[in-house]
Structure 1
Amino acid sequence: MADNVKDRSIISLSWPLIITFGIGVFQPMMDSWFLSRTSESAAAGVGALMPILGTIFMAIQAFSQAGASIASQFMGANSSSHARSTISMVLVGSLLLGVAMTLLVFPSSKWIVHALGLDGDTAKFGIQFLQIVCFGFVFRALQTTLTAMIATHGLTIWNLIGNSITIALNIGLNIIFLNGIFGIPKMHVEGVALATALSWAFSSGILWLVLRFKVHHKTKKVDIKRSRVVLGDWIRIGLPAAAEPVSFQLFQVFITAMVVHLGTLAVTARVFSANFAMFAIILGVGLGNGNQILVAHLVGAHDYQKANRRTFQSLIASSSLGFLVALIVALLGPHLMSFYTNNPEVIELGSACLWCDVILQPFKSANVILTGSLRAAGDSKFPAIFGSLMMWTLGAGTALFLAFVLDLGLIGLWLGMASDEFYRSCANLWRWKSGRWKNATVV
């Protein structure tokens, strides 16, 4: 399988990942739509929590992808036993991480919501959602890890099938819980949260069956002993790999707090426009994940020249497509915003944000590709340390200056996020071109 994967095209690996990620993006959009049918406050309250949930999910995903990169390097080096041990170790680790996240978030849910600056009905709905959905974190962790491990074997189409079934279930459960079908009491925010958690549980079950019977993965006793050999590398790569996206999501929490400071209009406009802005990054993330799989396999086989070529091909394609999709979304902005609301002020402000996103997306797509390639090679410290440092100095400083000194408000904050992506993409491009990642490989 290792030979087959590293010889495959980026498109053959990535197109199922693009659609799979698109389905993942569609789920919070769908939740926002269901909630907006009954209350804009509910949609805004739950939407404001997305950076918090994103922080948790990105930490889990980073550890999962770090483990998948290690497994891919072993597969590229034709060391299937070490690859199997890595998969077993990461599955157990993600399970424990999911439990830890639940134990951390549930008792802190009220504090988290109020720390974001939410109050009144918006805060009430946010707390209700968080206290229920957090019990699904263990399944979300398993879902994320299983997806990464199946993808590293090149079986990305099975991830697409499993997640497609899951989103259909999520839609069905939302309809049932919100309308009180089959004698179930009508629920509001609680129903949306429960539907989300149950869909994660169902998805993890389907993906486990794929790993067990399609990939033929089975944990053996020797794997537990052998996992100690790769545990150090998983921590070495996984901790920085988790630190960078967690730092990014905390930066989004900071931006959200600044948006809350601007008022309910800004919060609502940002939540709705951010949902549509995600369309532009779908292609970039899908190509980035496919490229990360290929680079890890190629690095394991010590084919550095091909790994470098694949990265730059993905970089050009991802940035170009990110710009094109963002431009189309911005042109359709007023029509898309009216899908959520009839408030002309929200539509106008949200549409303006989507034009700012046209500037942001090419650099965001570049960061996804470059950071993924560095992680795949085992060089996760650079984007974690220097990326976070630039984010909280240059990025945050630019955002605050544009928003509050030049008085551009939400537009200024969005342009500040675009500047952050630009600064970090330049740094990551320099790091990749330096070739120092060749000294960080596991194999």
Structure 2
Amino acid sequence: MSTLRQDRKMTLFALTWPIFIEIMLHMLMGNADTLMLSQYSDNSVAAVGVSNQILFLLIVMFGFIATGTTILVAQYIGGNQYKNAKEISSVSLSANLLFSILISVVIVIASEDILQLMNLPQELMPEATFYLQVVGGFSFLQALIMTAGAILKSHGYTKDSMYLTIGMNLINVIGNYLFIFGPFGIPVLGVQGVAISTVVSRFIGLLVILYILKQRVHFTLNLKDLFKLPAHHIKKLLHIGIPTAGEQLSYNTSQMVITFFITMIGTEALTTKVYAQNLMMLILLFSSAVSQGTQILIGYMVGAKEYDGAYKRCLQSLHYGIVISTLMAIVFTLFSDQLLGIFTSNERILEVGGTLILLTILLEPGRAFNMIIIGSLRAAGDIRFPTYIGILSMWGVSVPIAYVLGIHYDLGLIGVWIAFITDEWVRGIIMYYRWKSKAWQGKRFSQEAIVS
């Protein structure tokens, strides 16, 4: 197993810019699906949008092991415990493979029932079911890509993950083009084609990232490791992963409930939400990249017991995140008509969607607080506090306000966005004071000796 890259000191910029591009490409992949499908059918956009809401939930479930891997490998490297870093990498890949295969099977069997629970309009059901069964049935590919990517990033190889994402995007976009527009006599498959190109791009991406992992950190996934999952490593992964997944699961579940509220408003409102959130995801990508880069650096620092450096690093990153995300929200607001016009010419969607983009000027700074500080708290080993506060705020603030303003007082999507803003700021301010209190110091996971 290679050590942390010792040829140069890791900096936030060196780690973050490839992560930034990688996340942007992931988001553009989703936008490419939406943009291409919007030329085919608005109903297809809504069908894929709702199915992706469920698939995002799966990614969160797979991500709890990937998150634990990122934190533990970074802390072990910071504390010069390279043998443990290799062992936790093996355990995480094996555990996520077994877990994701089980979840994939469940999704294939129960996809239609899940969509019915979300009150999906009947006209969207056939396309949404097909997309969910195909992409969800092969979701174990994404689980392995996420875990392998976490290992690479924790060793400082963020560029490799970026290059992989570029390749996967190209394959996905080419596949979308072929199956949606039907050049050269290729049959037009619409949603079915998008699902197929997504799975093919992920399969190729998995083969490539496993090869990169072997070349960079001399690590190979061995099938016999599937039956050798050391209890002490599993315990540490679950100690980080279960609360982290709990918060993310709660968030995505609350979003599904709010999506259910939006289906009560109508298909047009659902489509507007999909278009607006696709643009908003591009706004938040800087905060997300800074959060991931900061998490790795703080993992190194906490593993080496450099607590003062970790404390300052988080606050500096938070400053960058707030400033940049706010500026990006303002720019997107100024050009909201043109940006939304890429997806649709529906005047009502353009009007409401423009208002939602305007509200992101208030939303994104609050989201930056949460993404950066919560990531830092987790990297330092402070896992449970963000989970408890997050769940309390999502279900005590976001969901009830979304219903009261959006449905009861008939504010529609504007009421829902006000609920999002309130939730992000309540949680963000609490997390800020948690970091300032330094209650996270001394909670690092790698401080315990591990006998293997």
How do 1:266-345 and structure 2 match up within 5 A? 266-345=269-348
Unaligned runs of 5+ in 1: none
RMSD: 2.0
Q: Tell me, yes or no, if the aligned pair for 1:3 and 1:76 is still in contact at 8 Å.
A: no
Match of 1:213 among 194, 210, 215: 215
TM-aligned CA distance change 1:182 to 1:91, over 3 Å: farther
Match of 1:129 among 122, 128, 131: 131
Take 2:192 and 2:289, find their aligned partners in 1: how far apart are those partners? 31
CA shift, 1:136, in A, is 2.1
Match of 1:51 among 47, 50, 53: 53
Give per-residue Cα distances to partners, 1:143-184, cap 9 Å, x unaligned.
111111100000101111111011001111112223445665
Letter in 2 for 1:288: S
Take 1:4 and 1:417, find their aligned partners in 2: how far apart are those partners? 42
Q: Aligned to 1:217, what secondary structure does the other structure show?
A: coil
Letter in 2 for 1:359: L
How do 1:387-426 and structure 2 match up within 5 A? 387-426=390-429
Q: Aligned to 2:217, what secondary structure does the other structure show?
A: coil
CA shift, 1:223, in A, is 12
TM-aligned CA distance change 1:203 to 1:219, over 3 Å: closer
Match of 1:161 among 157, 160, 163: 163
Give per-residue Cα distances to partners, 1:15-34, cap 9 Å, x unaligned.
00000000111111111112
Q: Tell me, yes or no, if the aligned pair for 2:95 and 2:226 is still in contact at 8 Å.
A: no
TM-aligned CA distance change 1:225 to 1:96, over 3 Å: closer
2:76 aligns to what?
Answer: 74
Q: Tell me, yes or no, if the aligned pair for 2:4 and 2:155 is still in contact at 8 Å.
A: yes
Take 1:5 and 1:299, find their aligned partners in 2: how far apart are those partners? 21
How do 1:246-285 and structure 2 match up within 5 A? 246-285=249-288
Take 1:147 and 1:27, find their aligned partners in 2: how far apart are those partners? 17
TM-aligned CA distance change 1:95 to 1:226, over 3 Å: closer
Letter in 1 for 2:119: G
Give per-residue Cα distances to partners, 1:199-234, cap 9 Å, x unaligned.
111111111111101222246899987843322111
Q: Aligned to 1:48, what secondary structure does the other structure show?
A: helix
Q: Tell me, yes or no, if the aligned pair for 2:326 and 2:364 is still in contact at 8 Å.
A: yes
TM-score (norm 1): 0.95
Letter in 2 for 1:424: R
Take 2:402 and 2:226, find their aligned partners in 1: how far apart are those partners? 48
TM-aligned CA distance change 1:89 to 1:438, over 3 Å: same
Greater shift after overlay, 398-407 or 342-351? Answer: 398-407
TM-score (norm 2): 0.94
TM-aligned CA distance change 1:6 to 1:418, over 3 Å: farther
Letter in 1 for 2:213: L
Take 1:363 and 1:180, find their aligned partners in 2: how far apart are those partners? 43
Letter in 2 for 1:395: S
1:360 aligns to what?
Answer: 363
CA shift, 1:6, in A, is 9.7
1:238 aligns to what?
Answer: 241
Q: Tell me, yes or no, if the aligned pair for 2:119 and 2:260 is still in contact at 8 Å.
A: yes
Take 1:56 and 1:396, find their aligned partners in 2: how far apart are those partners? 21
Q: Aligned to 1:118, what secondary structure does the other structure show?
A: coil
How do 1:193-204 and structure 2 match up within 5 A? 193-204=195-206
Greater shift after overlay, 94-103 or 340-349? Answer: 94-103
Take 1:342 and 1:179, find their aligned partners in 2: how far apart are those partners? 20
Greater shift after overlay, 275-284 or 46-55? Answer: 46-55
Match of 2:38 among 26, 36, 39: 36
CA shift, 1:190, in A, is 0.8
Greater shift after overlay, 50-59 or 182-191? Answer: 182-191
CA shift, 1:441, in A, is 1.2
2:13 aligns to what?
Answer: 11
Greater shift after overlay, 174-183 or 358-367? Answer: 174-183
Identity level (%): 28
1:109 aligns to what?
Answer: 111
Take 1:5 and 1:313, find their aligned partners in 2: how far apart are those partners? 25
Count residues with an aligned counterpart: 443
CA shift, 1:406, in A, is 3.6
2:449 aligns to what?
Answer: none
TM-aligned CA distance change 1:162 to 1:3, over 3 Å: closer
CA shift, 1:81, in A, is 0.3
1:429 and 2:421 correspond: no
Unaligned runs of 5+ in 2: 447-452
Q: Tell me, yes or no, if the aligned pair for 1:85 and 1:224 is still in contact at 8 Å.
A: no
Give per-residue Cα distances to partners, 1:364-386, cap 9 Å, x unaligned.
11111111111112221111122
Letter in 2 for 1:320: V
